[in-house]
Structure 1
């Protein structure tokens, strides 16, 4: 699988477990040919790359679309947000998944290659602060405490350094685990917690794979780490979820607090970028619009669709793989933005 992209009906895989786990590995792609499905008359190839974090969401949306348009092939790869933008801005891909907004140097690269693009918010993620389940002294941390722990030049070495006046915090060294600097998750966490992208201490265990972070925290009583909340919920029997206090009270990441925006500052939007010149192709227009179309009768999962809800495919797919749905107002805004871009490109 690592070298040969494969796709199939989304129901053929456990989207939340298999795809979410795959997103944290050095995965080269999920793509290929559907064995069955519906022939809509559309055909062509749409190449998607980018964030490992957003890969599961993009893979599920593309699989559902391909099921209904089985002559359209959508290879979905997870080179990482930064590496994906390098390919996208060079015109090698049509769709870019990103766990952060495009950076200035990436915008410049797109400009150098004459690549114009459309940025769409398509899902939400919550970053979780996790500890070992044997940790019985800490239930939550403030944003200021997290900054003191993680910032560059930090003098926090032990748990007692975090709260010197709390006798329950042990004089034991904190073992830190987090994402590596090539990750959009790293960029978001450092900017929101320490105030600047890349502002982080050098003596933590960095990994491109959140599953490695999970194993590290699980293996040490005094460990602390951060990663996507979905990874916590895949391993909640073996980890402890800490609340975060941004000054308005302690909140933990879960569907209600993330989708409402209550969990701050570690709720983040996830993005899908389309090359606007690709909108000249009917299959690309149809695929982009599919994100914001209402789900059909095949997507009735009780865990995903709550009573009375009317979800779109992008909202449904986000929940299906362990992420969170963008608000309805954002769906409408993104759909309108898309239609404006399509109309402009086709003038």
Structure 2
């Protein structure tokens, strides 16, 4: 069946597009598709929740799967990584999108409720640091400077406190206004761990938000400001923000497709995950959905973000389509093998150990 892309084919579907597609309430894609095909006779409902950051990726995969299997409904929500794990570990959802790996207390919660899961890497992201465009002199920060700025108990108040020579720059002697994600966010967890060495270690006097677009607006409207968020949000607003390179003893690197997919952008490149409830793999529609992530894209896929001669799976394609970055082919193969092992365990009526626990 030829896909009609007149209403959006060939154009990059950024985070805003997908967030709009799933509605202001993040109610998801369930029931909004009126075209497509029933290619395999599958039907049912698959409930997805979790990371607000990863929501557009989940929505992109769900839309493509539903287009090919239009009797399957896949509502996708983005209540946050932490909130999503509470639902997933209670058995209320089938799929958990996560912008950081599952935590020990969440592993225990899943265990206490008898929820077996398999952890799969779905996409890569970079957490970007940005400032107001009038701040032309803060173009690089070291990891140590970011730590001194953001850690709990920080005594850094002005730009001059952060780097002495900046006190003589325009507004360099004025107080820095900080914007970042709130504590319910996986982005918050990853940033605090990577920069401050401990989940939740952060100064209390910053403007915290569950919505990265609020952080973007805060910084672009305040020349004294600095914020952090997913790199894709910067590139959607790059004319209104100034990107800051991160120097991890490498002279300073900015997040781009090349530096994130190669692992050069450290320590703020991160994998993002999909957790699947293993018992649900008994359902044909859920198994097909899980396998769809790691199948090669077909001729109907928009190839704007596919390099010549490159072969991508749907999870890699969706990552680039909505402003994330593709996991390496080797990681795709590892995830595919891990998923197949989970499927075989269900078929043999075995109860597998929650995949991924032994790897950390």
1:329 matched to 2:327: no
Aligned to 1:265: 267
What residue ranges of structure 1 are gaps of 5+ in the alignment? 1-8
1:306 matched to 2:307: yes
Where 1:206 maps in the other structure, the secondary structure is: strand
In structure 2, distance between residues paired with 1:142 and 1:21 = 33
Aligned to 2:357: none
Q: Is the 8 A contact 1:23 1:53 kept in 2?
A: no
In structure 1, distance between residues paired with 2:250 and 2:13 = 34
Shift of 1:108: 1.1
Where 1:330 maps in the other structure, the secondary structure is: helix
Please give the residue correspondences for 1:83-232 in structure 2 after superposition, counting only pairs within 5 Å: 83-166=83-166, 168-169=168-169, 170-232=172-234
Aligned to 2:318: 317
Q: Is the 8 A contact 1:10 1:63 kept in 2?
A: no
In structure 1, distance between residues paired with 2:223 and 2:88 = 42
In structure 1, distance between residues paired with 2:292 and 2:6 = 18
In structure 1, distance between residues paired with 2:272 and 2:22 = 16
Aligned to 1:6: none
Shift of 1:336: 0.7
Where 2:294 maps in the other structure, the secondary structure is: coil
Which of the numbers 253, 259, 280 marks the counterpart of 1:278? Answer: 280
Where 1:149 maps in the other structure, the secondary structure is: helix
RMSD after superposition:
1.9
Q: Is the 8 A contact 2:159 2:174 kept in 1?
A: yes
In structure 2, distance between residues paired with 1:67 and 1:251 = 39
Shift of 1:301: 2.5
Where 1:251 maps in the other structure, the secondary structure is: coil
Counting matched residue pairs gives 338
Shift of 1:166: 4.9
1:243 matched to 2:242: no
Where 1:250 maps in the other structure, the secondary structure is: coil
In structure 1, distance between residues paired with 2:312 and 2:255 = 21
In structure 2, distance between residues paired with 1:92 and 1:105 = 18
Shift of 1:31: 2.2
Q: State TM-score, norm by structure 2.
A: 0.90
In structure 2, distance between residues paired with 1:24 and 1:37 = 18
Where 1:75 maps in the other structure, the secondary structure is: coil
Please give the residue correspondences for 1:68-79 in structure 2 after superposition, counting only pairs within 5 Å: 68-79=68-79
Shift of 1:165: 4.2
In structure 1, distance between residues paired with 2:168 and 2:345 = 61
In structure 2, distance between residues paired with 1:21 and 1:143 = 32
Cα distance change of structure 1 residues 11 and 313 upon mapping to structure 2, 3 Å threshold: farther
Q: Is the 8 A contact 2:196 2:202 kept in 1?
A: yes
CA deviation string 1:264-288 (max 9, x = no partner):
0000001000000001111111111
1:295 matched to 2:297: yes
Where 1:244 maps in the other structure, the secondary structure is: strand
In structure 2, distance between residues paired with 1:202 and 1:181 = 11
CA deviation string 1:278-315 (max 9, x = no partner):
0111111111110000001112423x101111000000
What residue ranges of structure 2 are gaps of 5+ in the alignment? 349-360
Where 1:333 maps in the other structure, the secondary structure is: helix
Cα distance change of structure 1 residues 301 and 210 upon mapping to structure 2, 3 Å threshold: same
Q: Is the 8 A contact 2:98 2:274 kept in 1?
A: yes
